[in-house]
Amino acid sequence: MLVASLTAIPGCSYLLDERAQLQQAISRLAQLKKEADAIALTNSQLTASFEATEVEIRTKLKEAELSLTKANDEANRIKTLAQIEAEQAINDAAEIESQAKRDAATIKNQAEEEKQQLLQDARRTVNGITEEVAVARSKAAHSIWRTRRKARLRCEVMARELHEAIAFDTKQLELKKAELETELKQKQAEADQQIATQLKEIQSKKNAIEDELRQKRAELEAEIASSWVEFEKEKEEAAEAFASQLVAENNATLQEQIDQYNSEFVAKKKEYDEAIAAADKELKRQERELKKQWEEKYNQWLIPHIREYQQLKETLEDWKQKYYAAEEEIASLKDIVLPDNPWRSMHTTRAVAVQQYMKAQGVLVNYYNSAIDKNGKFTLFFKPWQSGVKFKRSLEGILPGMQSNFCLIAPPVFGEQVDCWFLEMAPAVDSLTNSMESAYQLEASFPSSPAVLTVPQTVENNQVTRSLDYEQKVAFMMNLRPGTLPKPVTEEITEDELTVADWLCNWRFTATKGEQANIRQVNKLIEALYGIKPGRSTEIRDPITRESLRQRVHRILELLKIEGNRFD
């Protein structure tokens, strides 16, 4: 490795070549020494005969030793030169390395300066893009508002058309139903009339047969009576004609005749009774058959109409379901109209709070205008979604709750104007400052919160306990972008859970400028709050918190006083 490094140094290749030649000379000298040893051995044996050769060999040995000495001196000189050259090369390499380090530091500083310059350029570019994105987002929000307004108008037109179509179909179904009922009544009346006619005919036949039987019975009884009279006459004549000696014989004969007449009379009576019973049975059978035939004909006529009626009824139910689904879809697409910029002034922020509270109570109104007079009385002008007695009843039902929730001196007063409705709210007097305006402080709470309008009345250690300023909370909620919370490990509900749930349910739509809707489903709230998809894991009771995640979310909603009817 040292040889390779020395070879790379300029001027060292010559020294290496000299060293190689020196090594060759040394190896040759070693070979000559071996030969000299061999020759010396031979000379010791042949000293006498080879003296001249010995002298020559000694001379050669001296020359070789002299050459070896010179070679060693030359090798030492070359080694010294090589060491000097190697040290010089190492010093040069160290100097080159230090120069390279200085150059690298210079290049690094230049690169750092270029990096800072690029970062500044990138920041300026990002700021410009951010401003463009803000402008584009503002335009997009305005476009979304226009699109939603068009969608609301389109949904209202669709709803009116659907209402008209359903009303027309319902009217047609009612007319068809009335026609079917009229036709059914006519058919039933005709069937009853025909059955009554047939029954009358059968009854007349029955009466005729009974009259005939009574007549025959009367004739038979008359015949028997006449025969009996004749028999009595014959008996008297026989009694008068015969003597007493024939009385016993005649009596026996007469008794036999009487018995014979009686048996014949009983047999004929039984025959007539059997004929009458058979006639009654036949009449009843014919009546049953006739009634069965008419029932079959009536059912044959009625069953198709019943099926048609059932089909029409099912069609009506389908239309109703479509109507309800369309209403739900329209309701999901529609939302109450709030002020364009709710946070521009105090009266618009109050209008938003009042509208959200009314929405939570099921009374939907669109913003029209709002104002606060010098006495602190707040007036909201609105256009209701509904009209008539039902809306008035709904609005009257929430007025007492508004008085307690907004800390008013009396329930709000509402009325109807030419183009809108109005709602007047007079705040209570602050017991600390004797001022109505200072007592009327709105908080950015969720709808139906009991502290939407707060009257501070608690004094402890001469310090007034007041609620969070509305503007501060609005700014906090508008800038908040919460992430998912870890799975709870305590039974107590934390402030983070309440804040994030409040933002997800009431502030997300406003904070994201309409990009994300407020959550209205418990399953979505569970997933957004804890990052856990609803399923078996959210239904199992946790041994630490002593409740499931679903039960915990419902408890959070109760603490936030968010009504359950807002969630699916």
- Does 305 share its domain with 317? yes
In a domain, 127, yes or no: no
Same domain, 356 and 452: yes
| Helix 12-45, helix 51-241: angle, nearest 10 | 120
Residue 236 shares a structural domain with residue 280? yes
Alpha carbon distance, N-terminus to C-terminus of the chain: 82
* pLDDT value at residue 14: 59
Cross-strand bridge partners of residue 460: 463
Threshold 0.75, pTM exceeds: no
Shared domain check, 542 and 432: no
Q: CB-based burial of residue 85 (10 Å sphere; 0-12 exposed, 13-18 middle, 19+ buried)?
A: middle
Question: How far are the Cα atoms of 86, 357, 398, 423 from residue 413, in angstroms, in the given order?
Answer: 107, 16, 12, 6
Q: Do both 344 and 206 map to the same domain?
A: no
pLDDT of residue 245: 62
Give yes or no: residues 327 and 186 share one domain: yes
- Answer whether residue 531 is part of any domain: yes
228 domain residue, yes or no: yes
> How far out from the chain centre does Cα 350 lie?
32
Instruction: Classify residue 358 by burial, with Cβ atoms within 10 Å: 0-12, 13-18, 19+.
Output: buried
Kindly report, residue by residue over 75-109, the tens digit of the pLDDT. Answer: 778 777 777 876 776 777 677 777 767 877 887 78
In the prediction, which pLDDT does 382 show? 93
Asked if residue 399 is part of any domain, the answer here is yes
Q: What is the DSSP string of 15-79?
A: HHHHHHHHHHHHHHHHHHHHHHHHHHHHHHHSTTTTHHHHHHHHHHHHHHHHHHHHHHHHHHHHH
Instruction: Give the domain-ending residue among 267, 302, 332.
Output: 332
Helix 247-333, helix 51-241: angle, nearest 10: 150
Give the 3-state DSSP-derived string for 295-330, with helices as H, strands as E and coil as C: HHHHHHHHHHHHHHHHHHHHHHHHHHHHHHHHHHHH
Shared-domain flag, residues 340 and 328 = no
Name the phi and psi angles at 56, rounded to 5.
-65, -40
Residue 264 belongs to some domain of the structure: yes
The answer to whether residues 419 and 357 touch, using CB atoms and an 8 Å cutoff, is no
In our burial notation (b when 16+ CB lie closer than 10 A, e otherwise), range 458-479 reads eeeeeeeeeeeebeebbeebee
Q: Which residues pair with 408 in a beta bridge?
A: 427
Question: DSSP secondary-structure letter at 465?
Answer: -
Q: Is 10 exposed, middle or buried (0-12, 13-18, 19+ CB in 10 A)?
A: exposed
Q: What is the CATH number of the domain that holds 358?
A: 3.30.980
Q: Answer with the one of 332, 362, 397 that is the final residue of a domain.
A: 332
Residue 36 is assigned to a structural domain of this protein: yes
The parent domain of residue 251 ranges over: 156-332
Number of domains in the chain: 4
The residue ranges of the chain whose pLDDT is under 50 are 1-3, 6, 430-468, 565
- Residue at 524 is within a domain: yes
Give the per-residue pLDDT at 475: 81
- What's phi and psi for 421, nearest 5 deg? -110, 160
Please indicate, yes or no, if residue 473 is contained in any of the structural domains. no
533 and 563 fall within a common domain: yes
End position of a domain, from candidates 314, 332, 350? 332
Do 432 and 550 reside in the same domain of the chain? no
Contact 400, 410 (CB under 8 A): no
Query: In sequence order, which residues have a C-beta less than 8 Å from that of residue 119 and are 6 or more positions away?
Result: none
320 and 439 in a common domain? no
Exposed/middle/buried for residue 523 (C-beta within 10 Å: 0-12, 13-18, 19+): middle
In this structure, the answer to whether residues 351 and 326 fall within a common structural domain is no
Q: Are residues 313 and 200 in the same domain?
A: yes
